[in-house]
Amino acid sequence: MQRFAFAGRTCLITGAASGIGAALALNLAKRRAVLALLDRDADGLARVAELAREVGAADVSTYVVDLADGGDRLDLAAEVAARHGGVDLLVNNAGVALSGTFEQVSMADFDWLLEINLHAVIRTTKAFLPQLLSRPGSHVVAISSLFGLIAPPSQVAYATSKFGVRGFTEALRHELAGREVGVTVVHPGGIRTNIAANARLSGVDPGGEQAARARAFAEAALRMPPEEAARLIVAAIQARKPRLVITRAAKAADLLARLMPARYWEIASRAAGARGVH
């Protein structure tokens, strides 16, 4: 399959109002892509769209959608097709976080996270797949996580969703092999976005010690600017890479989990304690 060329191609990005999604939108705008941007944050979406126009996007449309609503996205697909003729690149980026042990987390919060992080990826891909199949050389991207490679405590819901994204995307890639649709799963680790700061704390006292530890851990781990993550993702799409792991720490954790699948967390926790990270 040929390298993906962005100029004039229609790229749909979910979660485009901030973080990696916004950085991707601006990166692709500089490459003269046509952008269809989706988020529930109307004000943030409008700001990113305006910036994208200023830096060179061939065209920009915005769609204010709450992915937690469980819709099938068929109306959205029809609306995007009517405006742009179809989609060449689908980036499933939107996601939320939820902290708390499985015992603490309510089923309502667990379901809320799964709807946004996993089911919305499936629904959106299903709705846009006919368009992608009709446009040879198209591409699908799903943002999983470091926690789609390893599964730490107090992240049961999040890891469940991101392992699900990983499995869905890998199986989809195998199904679409030979049909001129590329598929990439991305596992970022430690990207400086608002996802941790905006995480729900289910069954956890927001002012308590457990919440404080979770926030401190996130602040220490989130180091890479989203613009750098976007650059790496764009390069992976262009090269049609099937898999991208971002940050040195994520690559190390991935290797450790492969080498010691039953003991990696014990070893990682011991190493973190030795470095003074709790």
**What span, in angstroms and rounded, lies between the C-alpha atoms of 53 and 166?**
33
CB neighbour class for 170 (10 Å; exposed up to 12, middle 13-18, buried from 19): middle
Which of 4, 6, 110, 158 is an active site residue?
158
Active-site residue, 63 included: no
User: Known catalytic residues?
Assistant: 158
